[in-house]
A and B are shown apart, each in its own frame.
Chain A
Amino acid sequence: MRAYSPKQDVQKKAYYNDRFHVVPQVPRANVETNEQFLADVNALKEKFNVLDAYLEKGHLVLYVEPKNNVKVVTFLKEKLSYDMMMELSAIDYIATRGGFEIFYEMLSLNKHKRIRVKCFVEEKEELQSVESVFKMANWSEREMYDMYGINIINHHNLKRILMPDDWYDYPLRKTYPLQGDEAAAWYEVDKIFGKEAREAIGPEIRDAAAIDRYDTTRFSRLGHEVPYGADITNGKEPEHTPLAYQEEGGVKLFGVRLIKELHEDKSVELKKRR
């Protein structure tokens, strides 16, 4: 029986796992250990439902409800002076939890503090755009949509940004394959000539760097030159390859040959540099 590999997460995995390895956790601190953050969280808790809040490596991490995302971000910007949003994106947890974790990385210029606001959305759930609060979300949310296919609403121009507009699937999802399509070599052949022409035409070469040593029309082998188009597939190369590489009659300018004609029988091979 073939080994079963789950399709929900096709990313690269470690080939060996020590059974006895216990993964440590980056230490998380209570919000009370930092006065500034504690005041911010308390101010936020009065207005909104804060699901979780902790400190991780000096960063305040806040979990809020996805329906409140715009209001929370606006509150943080206007009331608590987190006046810049540096980054926003998603983390794919479809395989384990059926959705995405969205994070908003915010910075306060006068408090010198960073916070990360997070919320969890289901795979098909709608998420409000924060573009009206921070203009940087215009491009960031386009990227998030492009890479994860998150259903963002109220964005004025939601289209793909990095991938081509007609791209299928969302590249940063864990389900996105790491290798190309095996059948892709036949797509064009089937479409243009029909399936029955497969044998006559052969698969399309999709590797731009492909090299075929037997193809004498497009490749030449240095030191083993053969005439253009010669068939060497049986491994037999012609015993003699003419040395003259010029066109018949040579290249002429004002009726005079630019380069002298090469007489192969009269040519000598020098053993030593003169």
Chain B
Amino acid sequence: MNSPPSAEPLLQLQDVSVAYPTASGAAVPVVRGVNLQLAPGEILGLAGESGCGKTQLLLSIIGLNGPHAQLHGSVRYRGQELLASPLAELNRVRGARIAMVFQDPATALNPYLSIGRQLGEVLRFHGGVSGREARERACEMLEAVQVGDPRRRLQQYPHELSGGMRQRVVIAMALMASPEILLADEPTTALDVTVQSQILRLLRELRERHGIALLLVSHDMGVIAELADRVAVMYAGRIVEQAGIDTLFEQPRHPYTEALQLCVPSLAGPLPQRLPSIPGAPPDPAALAPGCAFAPRCAYRLALCEQHPPELLEAEPGHWKACHYDQPLGRLRDALT
């Protein structure tokens, strides 16, 4: 696969699928055969619109999809299979080696417990340390995420903190057991723009200082561009394109990626009269067409696309795309000027 030449993958997903049974019997696929790798210290962005399966994919890594989800494929952390592993084994990894940062810090924290208790809980569960050691560590972690006056914060409850502070606490909690991988699901979507830029800077620093690898889910290509080294774009449960960050932005090879970039208005450059847009709406995962799921909305559609789903193939080293159209893109960009 497309592994970086040097390191062995820290996290490897192979042919991961997630489906949910419905009353009518047929299971609805929400993630369909995804392959991904994450190298130590790497930031991989997972982009796509709501309902494309990016959160479900993230949850499948740490077994949080819920009791009804049907999971297939393989998720390996340093060679250890997580997807089918017993709960006790999974619990040694999740929270400790792989930690999660949720979207909304207001609901990710327990309103009844003090910040100190919630942070300490992670270590009491994973580390078997004393209360005092846990408090010390909690203080250190709050400092690491730039929360001022950490000793006082430990006594406080979530409602006493602002949104940005709460998200810092959620990140501190994820860091308590010194994980190697952070899974971040829209970590700044609930925040104001000036606070968002602070949190993005913090995540970047965590990677630089502690070498933490990050799997960053976001619908916002701007957030992805701020952080990621590599990007995988998802549509209807599949990865449709994957490339290094600069390549993906300069030379997208999948029409969906191109459209995602162009239909966001820009803060600089010429102003278009109309924004390019993608006609239609994302498909219902319960009623997917047989061919390429993006075909009904695609400006480059070929006859072939409606029958045969394109495979994710390596178009050039490190650049993967699932699209039958082989010419350079640019029709949408041209329509702009």
Whether both chains belong to one complex is answered with no
